[in-house]
Structure 1
Amino acid sequence: MEPTLSQFAETRRKDGLKVKRHEEVMSNAFSESNPEAVAENSLMTGYLMNYFKDHFSLRPLALFDVVKDFTYGDSLAGNLRLRTSLAQLFNGYFKPFKPVSADELMAGGGLLPIIGQLGRALVDPGNAILIARPYYHGFDMALGALDNIKVQGAHVPLHEAFTTKELDHLELALREAGTKIQAVFLVNPQNPYGRCYPKEVLEAYCRFCEQHDLHLVSDEIYALSTFCSRDVPTPQPFISILSLDLDSLGVKESRVHMLYGMSKDFDANGFRAGVLHTRNRTLYQSLLATSIFSNVSSPTAELWNSLLSDERGLKAYIEANRAALMEAYEHITEWLRFHDIPYIPSSAGHFLMVNFRPLLSQDSMGHVLGYENDAGMAARETALLSYLSRPPCRVVLAPGSGMHMFEPGWFRLTFSISRGVMDIALGKIERALGWSKLQM
């Protein structure tokens, strides 16, 4: 017989199998960058490779023949130089009502590990965090895998999203939840819609959490990846939760926390660096006890710091990234319009939501994708995902069901892919579905 594992390990086996199946699908995609599924930005890779090549170095330890960045570092809360540069970033670009200081920041090896640690500090096992649907599927794993924290989704109709009516649906979900809610997650800019929240909605979230004695966690990882387009020439600008006057709203600042990371705005998913901002000193002290399990590596800290501390270089990078995102967005939406595929316009992040329901409603597609005419929309969504991910197409679409979309048949399409790779992927979809090719 195989040696037994802990009850914790046995409970998590199903999650492990899901990850394994995901890896198998991803490894079958035609490119390692997997252009259609993962929210990664490869548009600025060359720019950053050249920048880091010229600006990265490891620090010597004064008076000793030792490289400081080969040691354990100067703080379990994360590299002090990095946290100081991050405070400057937030003070310069997030317009905080009160200046941010380094001692209010805790850095870690990626945002999901920080979310996991923060979740266990705010929510007891078996209880829940409340979030508007649809939402990023990674929260389910980050919060549930280690500490059995549930994610309670509140269905928000599209026409009421990003308005104060969104809070009515959170109120309903709070009343009807089968478990105790201890915190609310807000993703701004939102994933998967790719849009920013207006100030009055952010304030409504804060008052909602104060009223119900809940913590509010604002994930702002796409804060600087905003852009204009033909679809949205004057988009809602990004407004950070840090910019609100919480005292005037009657909200305790100790219940409001902000998350940020290197992976999205800085095109570096693999570098693994994230940060928490909180003015709750009790929470901060609690997280110090577990921070050793998720420190940022010294090379990653110095890489990020080199750009953050370069005021001119940082400004140039942000402007170049926004221009590249706008160009990529215009390219993919031209393709979608050519093929009469509806979509929800976005103005932030790396993706937009695409509606394949009209296509999948055509019974003729059943002959192509392999489903019967009486198949439901969820089965048709799965059939399209499976068909495109297999050879010869091997392009992976991210199904909306994974994002807890309000109805099946939607897919999240990442457009922040290099033009050459994107055009290969789009051409493969056209051939697989028998569509005419858009000449670009």
Structure 2
Amino acid sequence: MALSQRAQTLADAGRNNPFWNVMKDIWSPANPNGYVNVGIAENSMMHDELLKYINERHELPVKYLTYNDGGSGSSRLKAAISGFLNRHMKPVTPLEPGHVTATNGVSPAIEHVVWSFADAGEGILLGRPYYGAFIPDISLRLGGSVVPVSFGDLDPLSAEGVDKYEEALLEFQQRTGKKVRALMLAHPHNPLGRCYPREVLIKLMEFCQKYQVHFISDEIYALSTFENTVDEPPHVKFESALSIDTTGIIDPRLVHVLWGMSKDFGANGIRLGAIISQANPDVHTALTMPSLYTYVSAHTDYLASIILEDFAYTDWYLHENQKKLSESYAHTTKYLKDHGIEYGTGCNAAFFVWMNLGKKYRELHPEDECEDIGDRVMQRLLQKKVFLVSDSLAGSEKSGWFRMVFTQGQQHVDLALERILAAMDE
């Protein structure tokens, strides 16, 4: 049966995407020959604790079998999100329920804000390397144009790098005749695992004000920070965009923050995201109808409210999770150092090590003069049944760099590292 052109394009592309084969054949003690997946950003280290908490409190009231308060989340949920983020994000202006639209995950939240600010073909600035799923979130159904920003030898999180956003904006607008409507930021950064310094956030906001571009800060890893005990400083502390007084910097109507429970609570399956726009009520009004397609389930609405309202529990949970993140990062990077694998230092947030497997492969196989080192390494990794995010998936300017997730438990991480090294050595 003939499909639409857009559906056929995706059907063809999906057949060649190794990710779906990996997801169907995941390693476990019962499936020892499956893929060790350290590509998908999941944190399982606190699963037992969160599951115990949820199962002790799972008594769903009857109102949650109805449409409740509508597609953008119940009044209770919005109040719970506001109270929780007021406690941890330190916003200059305290969050109120009316500042929040809830979604069934942050990917739908990204779609919603892009839909709100950009028409098809208009640009969204995205610094390299980037979270690969930003590309379909922005362009797949909405037709937004991703405008990748290259930095060369500059640190993508530096003040000097801000000028590269302006170069990319001007080039795109001159080449296409279309406007750039927003700048999308992963803060903390995915895949680099670092936080933007406050002065860089301010400079980016000033740039957005100059060109009347929306500043969107995806802060899904905001509370997944940790103490880096192994790398030399500096380790930049996380500060939310909400904590910056925008007076004299940017029109607050242009500032928006995204957050969700997938990462900070290791609960990708709960499917809860939040769009926070404090000074632009039209955003929430415009999303009233589209929110029907991203309705937060009753179970998620209720459970998330219970969890986020319990400050004693969430304070303990976040502290324990951050401790485990620190330990697992130290364990993983020690292995990389011991085996001579270069990685990006200075991480203190999120779940990733950004490592140079291409360089290691070249050292071990100087006779192999392949041009696309990233593709060669990826082929070898898949042959050894281990999956990482490659340079091409992350839009890396440098070939051979890969993103490894270190938050699946020590047995899983050790097995992944062993297979990675085997893929390099063979």
Does TM, scored on the shorter chain, surpass 0.5?
yes
- Which amino acid letter does the alignment assign opposite residue 427 of structure 1? E
Shift of 1:426: 2.1
8 Å Cα contact 1:226/1:322 also seen in 2: yes
8 Å Cα contact 1:108/1:274 also seen in 2: yes
What is the percent sequence identity of the aligned residues? 32
- Aligned to 1:129, the other structure's residue is in SS state strand
- Which amino acid letter does the alignment assign opposite residue 24 of structure 1? N
Give the aligned partner of residue 186 of structure 2. Answer: 187
Shift of 1:306: 1.6
TM-superposition CA deviations, 1:93-121 (whole Å, max 9, x none): 10101011011100011111121122111
Shift of 1:363: 6.7
TM-superposition CA deviations, 1:35-55 (whole Å, max 9, x none): 421111011111111111223
| Distance in 1 between residues matched to 2:184 and 2:217, nearest whole Å | 6
Shift of 1:217: 0.7
| Distance in 1 between residues matched to 2:340 and 2:378, nearest whole Å | 19
- Aligned to 1:401, the other structure's residue is in SS state coil
TM-score by length of 1: 0.89
Q: 1:149-160 to 2 correspondence within 5 Å?
A: 149-157=144-152, 159-160=154-155
Q: 1:234-313 to 2 correspondence within 5 Å?
A: 235-249=235-249, 251-278=250-277, 279-313=279-313
Give the aligned partner of residue 43 of structure 2. Answer: 41
8 Å Cα contact 1:164/1:201 also seen in 2: yes
Give the aligned partner of residue 63 of structure 1. Answer: none
8 Å Cα contact 1:111/1:274 also seen in 2: yes
Give the aligned partner of residue 56 of structure 1. Answer: 58
| Distance in 2 between residues matched to 1:6 and 1:433, nearest whole Å | 42
- Which amino acid letter does the alignment assign opposite residue 27 of structure 2? F
Shift of 1:203: 0.7
Q: Which runs of 5+ in 1 are unaligned?
A: 60-66, 367-372, 436-440
Shift of 1:12: 4.0
Give the aligned partner of residue 197 of structure 2. Answer: 198
1:138 aligns with 2:133: yes
Give the aligned partner of residue 348 of structure 1. Answer: 349
| Distance in 1 between residues matched to 2:35 and 2:311, nearest whole Å | 30
- Aligned to 1:237, the other structure's residue is in SS state coil
1:166 aligns with 2:167: no
Farther off after superposition, 93-102 or 42-51: 42-51
C-alpha change, 1:34 and 1:285, in structure 2 (3 Å) is farther
1:381 aligns with 2:374: yes
| Distance in 2 between residues matched to 1:297 and 1:146, nearest whole Å | 22
Select which of 71, 82, 89 maps to 1:87: 82
C-alpha change, 1:330 and 1:158, in structure 2 (3 Å) is farther
8 Å Cα contact 1:119/1:143 also seen in 2: yes
- Which amino acid letter does the alignment assign opposite residue 326 of structure 2? M
Give the aligned partner of residue 339 of structure 2. Answer: 339
Shift of 1:10: 3.8
| Distance in 2 between residues matched to 1:55 and 1:348, nearest whole Å | 30
| Distance in 2 between residues matched to 1:292 and 1:365, nearest whole Å | 56
8 Å Cα contact 1:328/1:417 also seen in 2: no
C-alpha change, 1:128 and 1:24, in structure 2 (3 Å) is same
- Which amino acid letter does the alignment assign opposite residue 290 of structure 1? P
Shift of 1:359: 1.8
TM-superposition CA deviations, 1:359-414 (whole Å, max 9, x none): 22247376xxxxxx3311x2x32222122222xx3111211221011111000011
8 Å Cα contact 1:29/1:396 also seen in 2: no
Give the aligned partner of residue 412 of structure 1. Answer: 403
Farther off after superposition, 96-105 or 143-152: 143-152
8 Å Cα contact 2:104/2:295 also seen in 1: yes
Aligned pairs, number: 414
1:322 aligns with 2:322: yes
TM-score by length of 2: 0.92
1:5 aligns with 2:13: no
Shift of 1:157: 3.7
Give the aligned partner of residue 402 of structure 1. Answer: 393
Give the aligned partner of residue 64 of structure 1. Answer: none
- Aligned to 1:343, the other structure's residue is in SS state coil
Shift of 1:434: 4.2
8 Å Cα contact 1:257/1:276 also seen in 2: yes
Give the aligned partner of residue 370 of structure 1. Answer: none
1:118 aligns with 2:113: yes
| Distance in 2 between residues matched to 1:184 and 1:11, nearest whole Å | 27
8 Å Cα contact 2:154/2:160 also seen in 1: no
C-alpha change, 1:16 and 1:120, in structure 2 (3 Å) is farther
CA RMSD of aligned residues (A): 1.9
TM-superposition CA deviations, 1:274-311 (whole Å, max 9, x none): 01001311221111120000011111122222221111
C-alpha change, 1:364 and 1:16, in structure 2 (3 Å) is closer
